[in-house]
Amino acid sequence: MFWVLIALISPLSHGLANVLDEYLINKIFKNTWTLVFFSSLFNFIFIPFSFLVEHPSWPPLRLIPFLLIIGLIEVLYLFPYYKALEDDDTSVVASMFALGDIFVPIFAFLIVGEVLHLQQYLGFFIIILSSFLLSFNSHKKFKFNKSLLYMLLCSLMLAVEAVLYKYIFEKSDWSVGFIWPNIFSFLFAASLFLFAKRRQDIKLQFTNFKRKLPIFAFEEILSFGGSMAATYAIFLVPVTLEKGVSALQPIFVLFYAIILSKFFPSLFKEKIDKASVFKKIFSFTIMIIGIILILK
């Protein structure tokens, strides 16, 4: 079960990164694309650290289109993700990454021929159900938060990305599948500077970027480390299993948010009253049952 330990690094790291992302988008950067620009470019700095895991090699030509798609997704998924953080609690947003589990088994079957047992598919259904429960807004009338739509789009992109990772890992090594998409995402993010409106806002926000550089750097270290662990777990086992473990992320987010809100109550947006915490814990418990079915 070595892969489980590797896979757990992802929700542990990404969970704290989610909390810091909420702070950055709601308190520091008012323009979503500007934060996308700085996040994607900053990630490029950490690529040499991945050489410690495996020395990079040149990608086969037939895989370049797939690597480009992953690189583009690494930039585009951030927009709906940050918009969801503007609209909802961090732990709820993190839980809705599990919505990608709707698509992962389908894409995994169509692209890499990955087939699981019936109980594992049942586990995915339970995870999806808990995500919808968390996004349901019971105040006044029957409706779902806007964050559900944002995260549905975000999760769809990440589901495609996860399965493409698995496809690449079946044709090449881990370094090709992880390092080159990061290089391409850097180039896609850099292209935002070519647009006058984006360039103007990036210049205006550069002072805020420098002022919050330690927090920003810590958040990006967590994100990069979590991504390394997640992709390496996908390299080792079926992508649907890795996604099952990643579904633990909102539990860590809620824990981090509760702790940090006690020390920095004005910085983080997270409902931690008894009713909200009970609803989240109940939904997370359902989610864990789904995870157990997937891993059994």
Q: Tell whether the model's pLDDT for residue 268 goes beyond 70.
A: no
What's the pLDDT band for 77 if we cut at 50, 70, 90?
very high
SS3 category, 84: helix
The span from the first CA to the last CA of the chain, in angstroms, equals: 12
Q: Mean pLDDT score of the chain, rounded to an integer?
A: 81
Residue 193: pLDDT over 80? yes
Please name the helix (run of DSSP H) or strand (run of DSSP E) that holds residue 156, with its range, or none: helix 146-171
Rank 102-106, 165-169, 240-244, 271-275 by mean pLDDT and report only the highest: 165-169
CA distances (Å), origin 67, targets 163, 181, 250? 12, 5, 28
pTM of the model: 0.79
